[in-house]
Amino acid sequence: MPAVAALDFLDPEKILDWLGPFATIGLILIVFAESGLLIGFFLPGDSLLFTAGLLSSQDKFGLNFPVILVGCFAAAVIGDQVGYQIGKRAGPALFRRPNSRLFKQEYVHRTKDFFEHHGPKTIVLARFVPIVRTFAPVLAGVGEMPYRTFVRFNVVGGFLWAVGVTTAGYVLGETIPSIDRYLLPIIAVIVFLSVLPPLLEWRKHRRAVAPATAAEAEREAEELEDILDDE
């Protein structure tokens, strides 16, 4: 394997290039890590799947489309199953740990908010939201979501994400000649669409909190005025 800079791990094509003849195995392991292991939250899942699908249409890096399709789907589903078990067995203690370079409590709070808003379907929706997709199955385990319910949503979400995103890349690669020349702009769009849902949730939350904060401030001012009047 050639030498690779740390920042190259944010570039899907460079990741696959670095993996070389092990690109297929590496891709499947990355999908598994991002889906169920807390250490994988920083990995570029969406763009990596799309890029792998696109490059498989051009026979690059030894990527075979049916193989990566089945492999990534299985890795996504199994990864979430592992995440659920982590949450069920060690989640509460794990989420009490202090912030570190890789783990921050804000990731947990962000996922909890997402979970509370969307319920069990979070397991499906979270697949398309960076960071949230890594922590969602763990929180499902912590919250003791019924196992059958989790499995059902997990399989649907894993299929839509792993198969859907990879197939989109493959179809685009088959349809548009030399599409890999425009890979970076396409990846930029995918990243933007991935972070858009949490940004909209954050904006919605801020708008909901603002009136309550203003009302609270007004109430405190009235109480202070009453105290001063009494004196």
Q: Span 95-99, mean pLDDT? A: 66
The model's confidence at residue 138, banded by pLDDT at 50, 70 and 90, is: confident
Residue 84 vs residue 223, higher pLDDT: 84
Q: Please give the model's pTM, rounded to 2 decimal places.
A: 0.72
Q: Residue 224 CB: number of other CB atoms within 10 A?
A: 10
Please, what's the b/e burial string for 198-223 (b: 16 or more CB within 10 A of its CB; e: otherwise)?
beebeeeeeeeeeeeeeeeeeeeeee
Q: Which letter, b or e, does each residue of 93-110 get, where b requires 16 or more Cβ atoms within 10 Å of its Cβ?
A: eebeeeeeeeeeeebbeb
What is the rounded distance in angstroms from the CA atom of residue 77 to the CA atom of residue 35? Answer: 8
Q: What is the mean pLDDT of the chain?
A: 76
Which residue has 């979430």 as its token pair?
80
pLDDT digits (tens, 9 = 90+) for 166-198: 998 899 888 876 665 655 566 666 656 665 655
- For the chain, how big is the Rg over CA atoms in Å? 21
Which position has the higher pLDDT, 106 or 62? 62
In tens, the pLDDT along 39-63 reads 766 777 788 899 999 999 888 889 9
